[in-house]
Amino acid sequence: MWWLSLAKASSFAPTQATKIAAEWDSLYQFLLVSSLVACALLIGGMIYFVTKYRRKTNHDKTPYISHNSMLEFIWSFVPLVLFLMMFVWGWSLYYDMRTVPSNAKEVHVYGQQWLWQFEYKNGKKLNNEFVVPVGVPVKLIMTSKDVLHSFYVPSFRIKQDVIPGRYTDLWFQAEKLGEFHVFCTEYCGLDHSKMLAKLKVVPLEEYETWLATTTELTGGPGAQIYNDKGCVACHSLDGSPKVGPSFKGAFGKNSMMDDGTEVKVDENYLRESIVNPNVKTVKGFPKAVMPSFQGQLSEEDLTAIIEFIKNQK
Ligand code: CUA
């Protein structure tokens, strides 16, 4: 259709990596072009009539016009048909987007300040990265561990809020191989803009081999907690500061707090910082950002994560 090619030429939309994306773009471009045409007709008509029928002399009289049935019918009926078309088109596309195929592979998604965690049925877990097969429907079952987030894959034209205390879902069928961006599109605090993930689309056989290989975490149970509880989002292991101080070489040194006091980083300081993180804030880092892990970690877990931090020399 002519309007489609016109809109395509001026489109800044990202790659269409799903069938839905192409359909979504067609609808969006129809809305855009029909709005532009309507705008040109309305504003153009207004300018034309204002010029043509302006009062030219002081003796001009406004003619008495009551109505014109044909004209009024046309300007009501044509928009009605257009709006109904948009409604039916939009509804059927939305229906497709919300109807998950029964053979969809399920992946669990957890949003957390500030990372995305993915978990497969076989227990495989990843942070800020996940892999799906091409040409196969995938369903994401999503929830949040803290505040509202929103899961958005621009190339797939799918987006859904991720809400604490309930599950929301999304489905897609990737038609293109490659890597795609995942964004968080709900402002969720300090590092919202860094809450990004990578979505890799690979051939089915490659996906199955990948899924079957378990990634061994070195560092024992502490490393597991570091990844699962999301410490990794804010505390690096390579010395680079993120939202919070790096764990590298942290243990045993004296650290300057933002109230000017100096604190020795020992087991009890680390425990306090995990359970009650806002009591002491290291100088140069934002205050009241870290959530408390009170009640979320057992004594054994606390020991494991503290031992893990101690080992980051
Ligand atoms: Cu999570 Cu914004």
pLDDT digits (tens, 9 = 90+) for 78-108: 999 999 999 999 999 999 999 999 999 999 9
Q: Which residues of 125-150 are buried (b: 16+ CB within 10 A; e: fewer)?
A: bbbbebbbbbeebbbbebbbbebebb
Please give the pLDDT value at position 288: 80
Ligand 1, atom nearest to 111 Cα? 1
Distance between Cα 142 and ligand 1 center (Å)? 13
Ligand 1, atom nearest to 195 Cα? 1
Using pLDDT thresholds of 50, 70 and 90, give the confidence band for residue 216: low
Residue, of 182 and 6, whose pLDDT is higher: 182
Q: What is the pTM of this model?
A: 0.76
Ligand 1, atom nearest to 185 Cα? 2
Ligand 1, atom nearest to 193 Cα? 2
Is it the case that residue 219 has pLDDT exceeding 80?
no
Is it the case that residue 5 has pLDDT exceeding 80?
no
Nearest to 255 by CA among 290, 286, 283, 289: 283
- Among 148-157, 166-175, 191-200, 220-229, name the one with the lowest average pLDDT: 220-229
Distance between Cα 170 and ligand 1 center (Å)? 17
Ligand 1, atom nearest to 184 Cα? 2
Residue nearest to atom 1 of ligand 1 (CA): 149
Distance between Cα 291 and ligand 1 center (Å)? 15
Is it the case that residue 133 has pLDDT exceeding 90?
yes
CB 302 within 8 A of CB 274: yes
Nearest to 267 by CA among 234, 210, 306: 306
**Ligand 1 interacting residues, C-beta cut-off 6 A:** 111, 149, 184, 186-188, 192, 195
Distance between Cα 19 and ligand 1 center (Å)? 27
Distance between Cα 114 and ligand 1 center (Å)? 7
